[in-house]
């Protein structure tokens, strides 16, 4: 029994000692660069030859008041904090992935988009030109190349076979809006348009706007509740001026839509507010109810008149019979 215990203890000691660990100090490579050229264009900035087997954290930033085109603003030229996680540095990279961990821009947009380049030996970020200064930090040497007006279409990857040469792409005029959190191979996972703005407003398939939620496309839901400040019960008040049907007919003939209801052109240009339109439609339903009630009263009165005429006709017929 003692031999078994000693043997197990010996084996455990061997297994434990097989695990080795060392403390290392992480290196941070940092620097600054200026992107020249047109202030309305976004130029390629390329990080080259990283460690393909490790995630490279790339951070790009600038303060709002740092160097930039004064035409945009003498002081508030544009602030940027961009945090990327990406692995690249070898040919192909079918399993490579990259994502935007954080992106914040203020006053003016300076980040235009990102993509792999150089057959995945490099990673490219589009940054605004016009003299903007940027600062970067990364886990591995950047081998940075700024392909602005001084390096337009410069060769990024010079292969022994010319068909594999890679040149810097042209600058872009508009940012690749909506890059959010992840990019897998060459398929963007995105919401088209800036998803959030500084007010917390959200845009889906379009830029965030003055509406808290702005959607380009259809919405499907099991239920939508619209808060309302009131109904259309005023239609039933004694002082409500219900239009005469002849007046309504004249309006429809002239305008081709109901009174108080926006025209088709107005709806197309301005959209339709659910709460407002529901109240307007309810108002028309209540007006229609009043018209129906009034018509019912007329029909009842007409029915009484008809019965009276029938009774009168019977009396006349009886008198005529008595006179024979």
Sign of the CA dihedral with 302 first, then 303, 306, and 307 last: negative
**Ranges of each domain in the chain:** 29-185, 224-324
Q: What is the pLDDT of residues 89-143, one digit of tens each?
A: 888 665 688 888 888 889 999 999 898 899 889 999 999 999 999 999 999 999 9
Residue 178's pLDDT is 54
CATH topology of domain 29-185: Immunoglobulin-like (2.60.40)
Residue 126's pLDDT is 95
* Mean pLDDT of the chain, nearest integer: 84
Backbone angles phi, psi at 184, to 5 degrees: -115, 120
- What would the two tokens of residue 69 be? 């085109």
Q: What is the pLDDT of residues 155-172, one digit of tens each?
A: 998 989 998 999 999 999
Weakest mean pLDDT among 9-13, 31-35, 69-73, 268-272: 9-13
222-250 average pLDDT score: 87
Pairwise CA distance, residues 39 & 230, whole Å: 51
Q: Contact at 8 Å (CB) between 176 and 126?
A: yes
Weakest mean pLDDT among 2-6, 11-15, 111-115, 230-234: 11-15
With a cut of 50, say whether residue 188 has pLDDT above it.
no
CA atoms within 13 A on the CB side of 284: 12
83 by DSSP, 3-state: which? strand
More confident residue, 208 or 108: 108
| Percent of the chain's residues with pLDDT above 70 | 84
């Amino acid at each position: 029994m003692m031999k078994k215990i000693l043997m197990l203890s010996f084996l455990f000691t061997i297994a434990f000692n097989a695990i080795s660990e060392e403390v290392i100090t992480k290196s941070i490579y940092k620097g600054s660069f200026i992107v020249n050229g047109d202030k309305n264009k976004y130029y390629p900035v390329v990080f080259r030859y990283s460690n393909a087997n490790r995630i490279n954290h790339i951070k790009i930033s600038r303060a709002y008041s740092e160097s930039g085109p004064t035409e945009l603003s003498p002081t508030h030229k544009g602030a940027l904090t961009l945090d990327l996680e990406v692995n690249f540095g070898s040919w192909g990279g079918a399993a490579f992935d990259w994502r935007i961990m954080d992106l914040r821009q203020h006053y003016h947009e300076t980040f235009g988009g990102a993509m792999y380049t150089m057959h995945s030996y490099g990673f490219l970020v589009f940054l605004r030109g016009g003299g903007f200064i940027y600062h970067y930090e990364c886990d591995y040497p950047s081998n940075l190349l700024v392909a602005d007006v001084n390096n337009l279409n410069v060769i990024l990857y010079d292969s022994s076979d010319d068909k594999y040469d890679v040149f810097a792409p042209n600058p872009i005029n508009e940012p690749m809006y909506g890059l959010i959190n992840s990019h897998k191979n060459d398929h963007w996972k995105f919401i088209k348009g800036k998803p959030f703005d500084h007010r917390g407003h959200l845009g889906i398939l379009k830029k965030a706007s003055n509406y808290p939620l702005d959607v380009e496309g259809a919405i499907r839901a099991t239920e939508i509740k619209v808060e309302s400040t009131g109904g259309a019960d005023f239609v039933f008040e004694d002082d409500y001026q219900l239009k005469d049907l002849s007046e309504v007919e004249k309006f429809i003939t002239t305008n081709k839509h109901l009174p108080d209801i926006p025209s088709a052109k107005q709806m197309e240009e301005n959209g339709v507010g659910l709460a407002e339109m529901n109240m307007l439609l309810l108002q028309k339903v209540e007006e229609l109810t009043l018209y129906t009630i009034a018509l019912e009263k007329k029909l009842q009165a007409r029915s009484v008149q008809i019965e009276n005429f029938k009774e009168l006709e019977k009396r006349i017929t009886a008198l005529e019979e008595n006179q024979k």
